[in-house]
């Protein structure tokens, strides 16, 4: 039986990117579900060997306006309890952090553009070491606190929690290692045109920066994602668990944003 991976997508252009060929090469059968449109609560997502929760323009705290966010968070909580491999990117990382009880809130500034990460000691010893000195893509306004028990892997001046892990199977990336800086990046510039205009960011500058760093960005991002995927400890089967029934529900003190 082949391995299965499910991706939760929130907007069409924020897709698996460079992760897609990596997963195919590793033998995963990949299914993409559009959150809010497709059923994300069924066994296909619950029992997947790997779940990837992608980015999007809404906030974790918008569940009243977008009720499917509560379903996403509940499924993520169940996977965390089972130590089922889960990767959260941008909004996905914030959902993982929130599922672990950490606070998610608007940050002091919108962080949009390319800039290197400051790796922690744990980050430098993790697959993120491939990104040392590499200007990665940032595109977010919200920030998440560090969940209790998780390891902080990277930060920037604008966002203290750029990456975190809980064991080897749970990883949250606030930045976008999955984006190919050339192939598909134009869709980001078009899809986020209003946000760029509001932030007074010239898409021509972003396009030029992406092109200038394309080779190293593509190589480093793929190396990170490939190494993390290869190091996963797959579980035989997810089970519904009540061990941590209140995970993320009761007030939990997270480390500072």
Where exactly are the structural domains of the chain?
3-230
* C-beta separation of 172 from 144 below 8 A: yes
| 107-111, 112-116, 117-121, 237-241: segment of lowest average pLDDT | 237-241
What pTM was estimated for this model as a whole? 0.90
Per residue in 30-89, pLDDT (tens digit) is 999 999 999 999 999 999 999 999 999 999 999 999 999 999 999 999 999 999 999 999
- Cα–Cα distance for residue pair 112/127, rounded to 1 Å: 23
What average pLDDT does range 178-188 have in this prediction?
A: 90
Q: What pLDDT score does 33 carry?
A: 98
- Cα–Cα distance for residue pair 188/182, rounded to 1 Å: 11
Per residue in 123-173, pLDDT (tens digit) is 999 999 999 999 999 999 999 999 999 999 999 999 999 999 999 999 999
What backbone phi and psi angles, to 5 degrees, belong to 21?
-65, -30
Query: Predicted confidence band at 236 (pLDDT cuts at 50, 70, 90)?
Result: low
Q: What pLDDT score does 232 carry?
A: 94
Q: What pLDDT score does 181 carry?
A: 86
Domain 3-230 has CATH 3.40.50.880: yes
- Tell me which residue has tokens 């028990």: 149
Query: Predicted confidence band at 184 (pLDDT cuts at 50, 70, 90)?
Result: confident
Q: What pLDDT score does 240 carry?
A: 44
What average pLDDT does range 186-209 have in this prediction?
A: 95
Beta bridge partners of 151: 165
Q: What pLDDT score does 1 carry?
A: 63
What backbone phi and psi angles, to 5 degrees, belong to 132?
-55, 120
Average predicted confidence (pLDDT) for the chain:
91
- Cα–Cα distance for residue pair 44/51, rounded to 1 Å: 10
Per residue in 4-18, pLDDT (tens digit) is 999 999 999 999 999
DSSP string for the chain: --EEEEEEESSTTS--TTHHHHHHHTTEEEEEEETTTS--SSHHHHT-SEEEE---SS-GGGTTTSTHHHHHHHHHHHHHHTT--EEEETHHHHHHHHHTT--EEEEEEEEEEEE--EE-HHHHTSGGGGGTT--EEEEEEEEEPBPTTPEEEEE-SS-S-SEEEETTTEEEESSBSS--SSTTHHHHHHHTHHHHHHTT--HHHHHHHHHHTHHHHHHHHHHHHHHHHHT----S------TTTTTTTS---PBP-
* C-beta separation of 28 from 5 below 8 A: yes
């Amino acid at each position: 039986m082949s391995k299965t991976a499910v991706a939760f997508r929130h907007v069409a252009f924020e897709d698996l990117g460079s992760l897609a060929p990596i997963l195919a090469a590793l033998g995963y059968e990949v299914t993409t579900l559009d959150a809010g449109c497709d059923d994300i609560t069924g066994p296909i997502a619950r029992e997947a060997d790997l779940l990837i929760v992608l980015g999007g323009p809404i906030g974790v705290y918008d569940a009243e306006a977008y009720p499917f966010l509560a379903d996403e968070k509940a499924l993520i909580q169940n996977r965390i309890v089972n130590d089922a491999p889960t990767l959260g990117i941008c909004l996905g990382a914030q959902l993982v952090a929130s599922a672990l009880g950490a606070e998610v809130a608007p940050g002091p500034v919108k962080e949009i553009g390319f800039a290197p990460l400051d790796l922690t000691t744990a980050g430098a010893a993790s697959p993120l070491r491939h990104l040392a000195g590499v200007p990665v893509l940032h595109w977010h306004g919200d920030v998440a606190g560090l969940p209790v028990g998780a390891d902080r892997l990277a930060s920037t001046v604008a966002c203290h929690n750029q990456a975190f892990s809980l064991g080897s199977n749970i990883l949250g990336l606030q930045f976008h290692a999955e984006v190919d800086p050339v192939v598909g990046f134009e869709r980001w510039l078009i899809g986020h045109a209003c946000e760029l205009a509001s932030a007074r960011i010239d898409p021509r500058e972003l396009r030029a920066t992406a092109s200038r760093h394309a080779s190293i960005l593509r190589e480093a991002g793929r190396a990170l994602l490939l190494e993390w995927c290869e190091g996963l400890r797959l579980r035989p089967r997810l089970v519904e668990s009540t061990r941590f029934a209140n995970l993320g529900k009761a007030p939990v003190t997270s480390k500072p944003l």
